[in-house]
A = this chain, B = another copy of it.
Amino acid sequence: MFKAIIDADILKTSIETLSVLVDEARFRISPEGITVRAVDPANVAMVSFELGSDAFDEYSADDCEIGLDLSKINDIFGVAGKEDKLSMELDEMSQKMSLHIGGLSYTLALLDPSTIRAEPRIPQLELPTEVVLNGKDLLKAVKAAEKISDHMLLGIEDDTFYMEAEGDTDRVRLDITRDQLIDLKAGDARSLFSLDYLSDIVKPASRSNEVTVELGKDFPVKIGFTIANGAGRIGYLLAPRIESD
């Protein structure tokens, strides 16, 4: 059993955190809320998604797992107004989800979860450094870097967090010092990442005023932030690329 009502806009921005990495996902539903763990087809990035029952206006659920085609959900949001409420109800018999939004009723066939890639095991990494900053700064540096390269360094040097990209002849760098950061656990950190993935991840992250970035030396980066006014939490884990120089 699953029945819930939520602001269409909250669910839309929540779903976007998944759809930047995968096209379909297994949603694990419980009385406490919804969780998703997914890994992109190339095994480079993982996302851990939690949306607590507090994010919903109404919420009642037993434990169950459903598969959803995220592009179909996004199509529905395309028609919804900003203020619309979305109500959902699972029909386990027919394996369909009923959605009501702005007067429209949708009946969506669920995907068989067993046809969707299994939930990845999220590695329990303890990374030595941590930066907390506004997501807009991440977005700005990534957008600038995309113009000249396809990968980007993230690192910490003394008390400064930096993002740097180098093209054939040009270089762009964003330095953010401790006093410009919301928080900093300094240390020795420097890893290179694919801009394809960073771009995907910073798009939803840029909506958050407080994004936590955990880094190591040639280690994956963890990028975390809350969604749904604090009632949900997203964590990305992105594998590093090897520096060739």
A: residues with CB less than 8 A from B are 72, 75-76, 78-79, 102-109, 137, 140-141, 143-144, 147-148, 169-176
Contacts and interface: CB of A to CB of B under 8 A. Distances in A.
A105 B174 contact: yes
A140 B175 CA distance: 45
A173 to B, nearest CB: 5
A104 B170 contact: no
B104 A147 contact: no
For the complex of A and B, list the 9 residue pairs with the smallest distance between their C-beta atoms, beginning with the closest. A109-B169, A75-B147, A107-B171, A79-B144, A105-B173, A106-B172, A108-B170, A104-B174, A104-B144
* Copies of this chain in its oligomeric complex: 3
Given A109-B170, A171-B107, A102 B140 contact: yes
A103 B174 contact: yes
A30 B103 CA distance: 44
Contacts of A109: 169-170
A144 B140 CA distance: 34
A141 B104 contact: yes
Contacts of A106: 144, 170-173
Contacts of A172: 104-107
B171 A137 contact: no
Which of A104, A109, A140, A141 has the most B CB atoms < 10 Å from its CB?
A104
A172 B144 CA distance: 42
A144 B174 contact: no
A103 B170 contact: no
Contacts of A104: 140-141, 144, 172-174
A148 B79 CA distance: 13
A45 to B, nearest CB: 24
Contacts of A76: 144, 147
A140 B173 contact: no
23 contacts: A72-B147, A75-B147, A75-B148, A78-B143, A79-B144, A102-B140, A103-B137, A103-B140, A103-B175, A104-B141, A104-B144, A104-B172, A104-B173, A104-B174, A105-B174, A105-B175, A106-B144, A106-B172, A107-B170, A107-B173, A108-B169, A109-B169, A109-B170
